[in-house]
């Protein structure tokens, strides 16, 4: 079903933008079909590996981090889910993320900085948050969103380039204007949609993680420490920023944030997250 959704959406975009660029319907369909198959398969099956590689995460064994492994395994048993592969990022910035297409093909990664500054209860809170992303299929939802957003942005770029390549007469003035507007606005709107989905899934994972550990104060305290640290990841990038428990760009707490900045934030305000978790413990 996921591949059908991704494929249908991408194929439709290819046909519409291809036609607007001056291609006939058959050429647009052929282009869309080829692009859809390759793009969807690579994104669905390799997105987790790409995210782990981009973040510099390395797989570790139980002997290398026995306490972390015990925490994750115990939480998985309690939550009735398979234990994911565990990765470590050699980075002083405290952070963590989960990725994969389903609970059977999932991975979670932690930075060395996170393991250093958190106590056991706080680390359990972070691990439970990431495992909740896996159990709630957030990792699959975000895979869909990223794939579709990527398709919109890539195809819009193709349309914009082809519009300046001599297709004005064939497409017609009105169609050209519509196509250019789409090419300019669609990446912006797609990015807003992606970030909005990401923020809502963070709230859900916070709540689910707190219910799993039955100690919301642990995750709240962890978020407080992570936010106060303020150091960006060495390999922070916008493509994977939404996957992390906190912004990898090291946004510090405090200070007034404009509504425009919040619109493009990958995560909800940490103060709101901590307040919700604190209220759960009362």
Residues forming the active site = 130
Adjacent-strand bridge partners of 244: 97
CA-CA distance, 190 to 185, in Å (whole number)?
Answer: 8
What the block records as the tokens of 135 is 């159990």
Residue 244 per-residue DSSP state: B
CA-CA distance, 51 to 41, in Å (whole number)?
Answer: 16
Q: Are strands 96-100 and 106-111 parallel, antiparallel or unpaired?
A: antiparallel
CA-CA distance, 44 to 158, in Å (whole number)?
Answer: 22
Q: 203 and 267 in contact (C-beta within 8 Å)? A: no
Q: 81 and 131 in contact (C-beta within 8 Å)? A: yes
What are the backbone angles phi and psi of residue 58, rounded to the nearest 5°? -125, 135
Residue 98 per-residue DSSP state: E
């Amino acid at each position: 079903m996921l591949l059908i959704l991704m494929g249908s959406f991408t194929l439709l975009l290819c046909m519409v933008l291809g036609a607007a660029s001056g291609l006939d319907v058959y050429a647009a369909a052929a282009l869309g079909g080829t692009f859809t198959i390759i793009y969807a398969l690579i994104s669905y099956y390799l997105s987790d590996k790409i995210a782990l590689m981009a973040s510099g995460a390395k797989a570790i064994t139980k002997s290398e981090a026995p306490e972390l492994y015990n925490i994750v395994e115990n939480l998985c048993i309690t939550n009735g889910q398979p234990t994911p592969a565990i990765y470590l990022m050699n980075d002083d910035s405290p952070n963590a993320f989960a990725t994969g297409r389903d609970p059977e093909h999932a991975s979670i990664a932690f930075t060395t900085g996170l393991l250093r500054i958190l106590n056991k209860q706080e680390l359990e809170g972070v691990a439970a948050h990431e495992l909740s992303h896996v159990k709630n299929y957030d990792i699959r939802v975000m895979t869909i969103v990223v794939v579709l957003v990527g398709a919109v942005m890539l195809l819009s770029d193709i349309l914009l380039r082809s519009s300046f390549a001599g297709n004005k007469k064939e497409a017609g003035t009105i169609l050209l204007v519509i196509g250019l507007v789409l090419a300019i606005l669609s990446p912006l709107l797609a990015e807003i949609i992606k970030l909005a989905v990401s923020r809502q899934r963070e709230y859900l994972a916070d709540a689910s993680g707190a219910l799993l550990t039955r100690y919301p104060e642990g995750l709240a305290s962890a978020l407080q420490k992570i936010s106060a640290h303020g150091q960006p990841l060495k390999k922070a990038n916008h493509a994977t920023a939404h996957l992390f428990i906190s912004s990898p760009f090291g946004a510090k707490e405090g200070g007034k944030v404009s509504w425009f900045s919040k619109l493009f934030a990958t995560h909800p305000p940490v103060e709101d997250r901590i307040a919700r978790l604190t209220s759960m413990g009362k």
